[in-house]
Amino acid sequence: MTSSEQTGILKVAYIGAGRVNFGGAAGGPWDHSKRLEQLGGVEFVAIVDPLVEKVRDVLEKKMAGAYAHLYTNCKVLTDYRELLSMGDNKPDAALVGVPPFCHASYKNDIELQLVKAGVHVFVEKPISVQPPEEIQPYVKEVSRTAKEQGVIMSVGYMFRYHDAINKMKEIITEHGRPLMNIDMAYNCAYVSSTRAYIWNIHESGGPIIEQATHFCDLLRYFGGEVDYSQLTSLVVPASDDPTNPGYLSSLSPLLKEGDIPQSSRSPRLTHAQWKFKTGTVGSLTHSYSIHGEKYITNIEIWADGLRMKLENLYYPECRLKIRRGYTDEEQEFVFPTADPYHGEVEVFLKAVRDKDSNIIRSSYEDAFKTYQLTWAIRRTGTGT
Ligand SMILES: NC(=O)c1ccc[n+]([C@@H]2O[C@H](COP(=O)([O-])OP(=O)(O)OC[C@H]3O[C@@H](n4cnc5c(N)ncnc54)[C@H](O)[C@@H]3O)[C@@H](O)[C@H]2O)c1
């Protein structure tokens, strides 16, 4: 019996001391550490990041906060391999929140080393930035090893744990009719998007692989597997010409987009459509278009006798409108307290404790299928 099994306290390590694990000055709803602290039943044994000062800074803040006792034995490490020689303090579980080009390959084999050592893994989306066919052998080996070792793997597609998405799933099941159309739009407020690598598709993967991946994942969550022979996509490419639709008037000068080769610049708009194997039509629009801070998102699902429209999924004012059956009236649902980030880590910890991978809604293998869809959209739209 391990010490965690004796005490019931899970030992958790963070890989990456950045925004998704610890929140960020620029805000955003993400911060896995906050949710884990509130959930309890855990202690933090290490934070791994080559930027030692950044980790020290994170730890200093944690030691001054209400959950300092959870960090008493927390080590500052610079390499994930060090986690595996921590003896009794080896983590039971690790949360991997590093840029996608820093993991998911035989060179940067964070997932593989963890699962080989019997450590449960929660890894952020996107699972990589390399072409899917290049990482497929790695993904297969990680998935097979995780099964052999009996460890849980979960990927951070948090919207699968959102109350509004649960409600839509429930209504589809109740309604009992196949879906005709699933249409999603993800419009990013781009002015404050100042991380340079996001704007270079050869570093971030591009807007579909990096951002709209959340909606590609939901499209699959509702629609199932994609018939790739029917997929097409169109883009509005970047342009420096103010008379062109691809010109963005308010890009931060800090990004120095002019230094990025034209063929590597992020498209301003991507529109893709396809059929699922069931015959349902799927479509996705992503744009860098609006100013201000808030993104504008929209999800519509249609079936015989049913229309669902979900707006503002990222925000507490998220609203679901439903028209179904023999009426022109709409029902409206709101979800002011929904916290999908809480849901995804809560379910991950429960799966680890109960050794039950069936409750994980985004497995590593399934997330790879979403990853394949995002690449297919990028390739048909941009040719690269
Ligand atoms: N699900 C969501 O809503 C959501 C939100 C934000 C970020 N993310 C994802 O989380 C991942 C991380 O994003 P972020 O915003 O936290 O990035 P970030 O740049 O804020 O932090 C990443 C950290 O990882 C560290 N790092 C790099 N290589 C490492 C390695 N080998 N070992 C340990 N640490 C390493 C970096 O030094 C950096 O401190 C990305 O894939 C991103 O897409 C998801």
Above 80 in pLDDT, residue 40?
yes
Same domain, 126 and 187: no
Query: Total structural domains in the chain?
Result: 2
The separation between the first and the last C-alpha atoms of the chain, rounded to the nearest angstrom, is 51
Final residue in a domain of this structure, among 155, 184, 201: 155
Q: What is the pLDDT of residue 253?
A: 87
Above 80 in pLDDT, residue 89?
yes
Same domain, 266 and 350: yes
Same domain, 117 and 131: yes
Same domain, 18 and 105: yes
Ligand 1 first shell, C-beta below 6 A: 15-20, 30, 48-51, 54, 80, 97-100, 102, 124-125, 156, 158
Same domain, 171 and 315: yes
Same domain, 233 and 111: no
Q: φ and ψ at 77, to 5 degrees?
A: -125, 155
Q: Residue range 55-69: average pLDDT?
A: 98
Q: Residue range 286-302: average pLDDT?
A: 97
Same domain, 167 and 137: no
Helix (H, G, I), strand (E, B) or coil at 378: helix
Same domain, 36 and 108: yes
Q: What is the CA(239)–ligand 1 centre distance, in A?
A: 29
Kindly report, residue by residue over 331-345, the tens digit of the pLDDT. 999 999 999 999 999
> Do 10 and 4 form a contact (C-beta atoms < 8 A)?
yes
Residue 4: pLDDT band with limits 50, 70, 90 = confident
Helices (H), 8-50: 19-22, 32-39
Same domain, 353 and 251: yes
> Do 305 and 207 form a contact (C-beta atoms < 8 A)?
no
CATH code at position 240? 3.30.360.10
Helices (H), 64-131: 110-116
Ligand 1, atom nearest to 17 Cα:
39
Final residue in a domain of this structure, among 119, 140, 155: 155
Final residue in a domain of this structure, among 155, 185, 202: 155
Same domain, 202 and 298: yes
Q: What is the pLDDT of residue 24?
A: 80
Ligand 1, atom nearest to 108 Cα:
31
> CA 254 to CA 261: how far, in whole Å?
16
Q: What is the CA(334)–ligand 1 centre distance, in A?
A: 31
| Cα dihedral 249, 253, 258, 261 sign | negative
Same domain, 178 and 147: no
Kindly report, residue by residue over 96-133, the tens digit of the pLDDT. 999 999 999 999 999 999 999 999 999 999 999 999 99
Q: What is the pLDDT of residue 1?
A: 66
Percent of the chain at pLDDT exceeding 90: 93
Residue 294: pLDDT band with limits 50, 70, 90 = very high
Computed over every residue of the chain, the mean pLDDT equals 96
Two tokens at 317? 């004012």
Q: What is the CA(101)–ligand 1 centre distance, in A?
A: 10
Q: According to the 3-state scheme, what is the secondary structure of 211-280? A: CCHHHHHHHHHHHCCEEEEEEEEEEECCCCCCCCCCCCCCCCHHHCHHHCCHHHECCCEEEEEEEECCCC
Q: What is the CA(271)–ligand 1 centre distance, in A?
A: 27
Kindly report, residue by residue over 193-203, the tens digit of the pLDDT. 888 888 999 99
CATH code at position 78? 3.40.50.720
Which residues span the domain enclosing 192? 159-382
